[in-house]
Amino acid sequence: MAVRVRIAPSPTGLLHIGTARTALFNWLFARHEGGEFRLRIENTDTSREVAEAVDQIQDSLRWLGLDWDGPHTFQLDRMEDCRQVAERLLADGKAYEDEGAIRFRMPDEGVTAWDDIVRGRIEYPNEKLEDVVIVRSDGRPTYNFASPMEDVWDGITHVIRGDDHIPNTPKQLNIIRAVGAEIPVYAHVPMIFGMDGNKLSKRHGAQAVEEFRTAGYLPETMLNFLALLGWAPDGETTLMSRDELVERFSLERVSPSPSQFDYQKLDWMNGVYLRALPSAEFAHRLLLWLGENGFDWDAERVTRAAPLVQEKIARLDEFPGFAGFFFRDVDPSEADLDGGAPMLTAAEEALIALEPFDAPAIEAALRAAADRLELKPRQAFQPIRVAVTGSKVSPGLFESIELLGRETTLSRLRVAGSSAA
Output the pLDDT for position 256: 94
Q: How far are the Cα atoms of 8, 197, 367 from residue 232, in angstroms, in the given order?
A: 24, 20, 51
* Strand 101-104 relative to strand 95-98, pairing: antiparallel
Region 277-326: CATH code: 1.10.8
pLDDT for residue 66: 97
CA atoms of 256 and 272, how far apart (whole Å): 29
| Domain limits, CATH 1.10.8, in the chain | 277-326
**Alpha helix locations (H) across 299-358?**
299-309, 319-323, 334-337, 341-351
Q: What is the pLDDT of residue 289?
A: 98
Residues 4-71+192-267: name the CATH superfamily.
HUPs (3.40.50.620)
Reply yes or no on whether the pLDDT at 202 is more than 90.
no
Tens digits of residue pLDDT in 226-236: 999 999 998 78
Among 15-19, 114-118, 206-210, 244-248, name the one with the lowest average pLDDT.
Answer: 206-210
The predicted-structure confidence for 281-319, as pLDDT tens digits, reads as follows 999 999 999 999 999 999 999 999 999 999 999 999 999
Q: Given 128, 202, 265, 392, which residue is catalytic?
A: 202
Q: What is the mean pLDDT of the chain?
A: 93
- Angle, in degrees to the nearest 10, between helices 359-372 and 397-404: 120
pLDDT in tens, 55-72: 999 999 999 999 999 999
Residues of the chain with CATH 3.40.50.620: 4-71+192-267, 76-189
Fold of 334-420: Arc Repressor Mutant, subunit A (1.10.10)
419 vs 139, 335, 341, 378, CA distance in Å? 74, 10, 8, 20
392 an active-site residue?
A: no
The residue-averaged pLDDT of 370-395 equals: 94
CATH classification code of 76-189: 3.40.50.620
Q: Of 184, 108, 182, 175, which Cα lies nearest the Cα of 135?
A: 175
Burial class of 277 by CB neighbour count within 10 A (0 to 12, 13 to 18, 19+): middle
Mean pLDDT of 154-181: 97
Q: Is residue 44 over pLDDT 60?
A: no
pLDDT digits (tens, 9 = 90+) for 311-346: 999 999 999 999 999 999 999 988 888 779 999 999
Which H or E element spans position 36? strand 36-41
Using only C-alpha atoms, the chain has a radius of gyration, in whole angstroms, of 30
Mean pLDDT of 27-32: 98
The pLDDT value given to residue 417: 85
The lowest-confidence range among 153-157, 331-335, 353-357 is: 331-335
